[in-house]
């Protein structure tokens, strides 16, 4: 049924706007290598076209499952339209035999906690998974040394300090050289933690990776509620920023968008599915706020998928994963890369919802079309400068709810649906 609705949506968009892309074998090639350009807000594929990272958190993928299950997961995500995964190179806590692999009990270092002694057998596993992901068209966001969530002791923050800056440089050199030829990698510096006393250690890791491959795409994962651009003082090695926020996500996205100079950013993390009483609607809103907020990607997370814990295979087709598939399917039919957030309320005049609340609408527009996301029903006012086609969509399943045309004017409209039902609006003129 879902596929039927999506196909119908694509057909409607084709008839109304002629925006469905013509694909050829050349266009179906893998997107790498990625690049970023000064003054461009998006990650660019090998053809120089903006690319949307549609991602999932798979932090423990290298160590917890066996390679057979890890491969099956990557390939399954690729079929769902999920084209990026966050993965730790080093695990500290969230696997049965951490920091070693559950399968084979293979430690990452020949000497425990000594970054200068990488274990060849351990990194052969990573070689394999990077290759599987590349073949499946999946980008891996690899964290060389996950620091740990705040100060709960589940990361490598203290180990980096104990090793010293030079050992961190040697480890980074090993990793960077080993994967310099792999196009499907984006590097994550840190992880769930600000650099604090490890400032020099993390900077040398990033700078070493960039020195080996000056076209590397690098971001950083800090404390929640903080921008890596601020924490790392817009370091020269950071060419991709991100939003990591558990509170009012729309506000955090807007702050990141307005930072100068312009830099591509992704919504890398918000509330995970099955954590903090997160609802399916909240999971959808996180992704559509990223779309409407000027990001170049959005990531979901699921417990127990992120740590491959008990029952993780049962969650491969969770509501959040299905919602992410719909995001990708819809974005493939619209010129999202031409949109900008409607910060000045040029089209969506009223009906935004509270500034610092989770019922805040998202809205972005381009030359001939626009997209709006509404977490729940409300009255809205649209400024239409010409006859405009409106398409209401249920983002839960991709169902097209209605199609209508409205003349140029300030139009007052009721967002369809019952209480707590979110809706997506497509406009074409």
The DSSP secondary structure of 71-132, one letter per residue, reads HHHHHHHHHTT--EEEEESS-SSSSTTTTS-TTT---SBSSTT-TT-B-HHHHHHHHHHHHH
Architecture per CATH, 338-428: Sandwich (2.60)
Question: Quick one: pLDDT at residue 319?
Answer: 98
Domain boundaries, the chain: 31-332, 338-428
Alpha-carbon distance of 214 to 206, in angstroms, equals 11
- Tokens 């979901």 correspond to 300
Query: pLDDT value at position 14?
Result: 42
pTM of structure: 0.93
Residue partners of 312: CB distance under 8 A and separation at least 6: 65, 304, 305
The contacts of residue 405 (CB under 8 Å, 6+ apart) are 387, 388, 389, 390
User: 415 and 372 in contact (C-beta within 8 Å)?
Assistant: no
Looking at residue 402, what DSSP letter applies?
E
**How far is residue 174's CA from residue 114's CA, in Å, rounded to a whole number?**
13
Q: Residue 151's pLDDT is what?
A: 76
Burial class (CB in 10 A: 0-12, 13-18, 19+), 235: middle
280-292 and 249-258 helices, crossing angle to 10°: 20
Q: What was the pLDDT predicted at 9?
A: 53
- Count other C-beta atoms under 10 Å from residue 344's C-beta: 7
Q: Give the span between the Cα atoms of 359 and 351, in whole angstroms.
A: 10
Tens of pLDDT along the chain (429 residues) come to: 444 444 445 544 444 444 333 333 334 589 999 999 998 999 999 999 999 999 999 999 999 999 999 999 999 999 999 999 999 999 999 999 999 999 999 999 999 999 999 999 999 999 999 999 999 999 999 999 999 998 788 999 999 999 999 999 999 999 999 999 999 999 999 999 999 999 999 999 999 999 999 999 999 999 999 999 999 999 999 999 999 999 889 999 999 999 999 999 999 999 999 999 999 999 999 999 999 999 999 999 999 999 999 999 999 999 999 999 999 999 999 999 999 999 999 999 999 998 888 899 999 999 999 999 999 999 999 999 999 999 999 999 999 999 999 999 999 999 999 988 999 999 999
Three-class SS of residue 246? coil
Q: Smallest Cα–Cα separation from 230: which of 247, 255, 207, 250?
A: 255
Specify the CATH architecture of the domain 31-332.
Alpha-Beta Barrel (3.20)
């Amino acid at each position: 049924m879902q596929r039927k609705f999506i196909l119908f949506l694509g057909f409607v968009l084709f008839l109304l706007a002629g925006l469905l892309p013509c694909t050829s074998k050349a266009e179906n090639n893998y997107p790498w290598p990625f690049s970023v350009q000064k003054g461009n807000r998006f990650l660019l594929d090998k053809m120089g076209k903006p690319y949307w990272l549609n991602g999932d958190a798979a932090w423990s993928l290298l160590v917890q499952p066996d390679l057979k299950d890890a491969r099956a997961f990557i390939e399954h995500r690729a079929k769902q339209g999920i084209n990026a995964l966050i993965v730790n190179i080093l695990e500290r806590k969230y696997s049965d035999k951490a920091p070693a692999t559950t399968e084979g009990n293979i430690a990452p270092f020949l000497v425990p906690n000594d970054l200068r002694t990488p274990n060849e057998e351990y990194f052969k596993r990573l070689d394999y998974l990077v290759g599987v992901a590349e073949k499946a068209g999946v980008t891996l966001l690899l964290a060389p040394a996950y620091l740990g969530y705040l100060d709960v002791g589940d990361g490598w923050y203290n180990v980096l300090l104990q090793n010293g800056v030079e050992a961190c440089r040697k480890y980074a050199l090993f990793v960077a050289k080993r994967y310099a030829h792999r196009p499907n990698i984006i590097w994550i510096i840190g992880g769930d933690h600000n650099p604090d006393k490890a400032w020099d250690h993390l900077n040398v890791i990033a700078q070493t990776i960039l020195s080996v491959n000056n076209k590397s795409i690098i971001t950083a994962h800090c404390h929640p509620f903080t921008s890596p651009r601020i924490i790392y003082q817009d370091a020269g090695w950071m060419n991709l920023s991100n939003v990591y926020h558990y509170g009012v996500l729309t506000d955090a996205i807007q702050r990141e968008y307005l930072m100068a100079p312009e830099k591509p950013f992704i919504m890398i993390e918000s509330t995970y599915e099955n954590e903090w009483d997160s609802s399916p609607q909240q999971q959808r809103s996180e992704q559509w706020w990223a779309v409407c907020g000027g990001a170049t990607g959005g990531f979901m997370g699921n417990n127990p998928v992120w740590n491959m814990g008990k029952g993780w295979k049962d969650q491969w087709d969770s509501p959040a994963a299905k919602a992410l598939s719909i995001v990708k399917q819809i974005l493939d039919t619209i010129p999202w890369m031409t949109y900008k957030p409607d910060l000045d309320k040029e089209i969506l005049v009223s009906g935004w919802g509270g500034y610092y609340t989770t019922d805040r609408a998202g809205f972005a527009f381009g030359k001939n079309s626009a997209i709006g996301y509404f977490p729940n029903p409300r009255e809205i006012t649209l400024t239409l400068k010409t006859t405009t086609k409106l398409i209401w969509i249920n983002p839960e399943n991709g169902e097209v709810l209605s199609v209508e045309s409205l003349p140029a004017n300030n139009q007052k409209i009721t967002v369809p649906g019952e209480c707590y039902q979110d809706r997506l609006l497509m406009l074409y003129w």
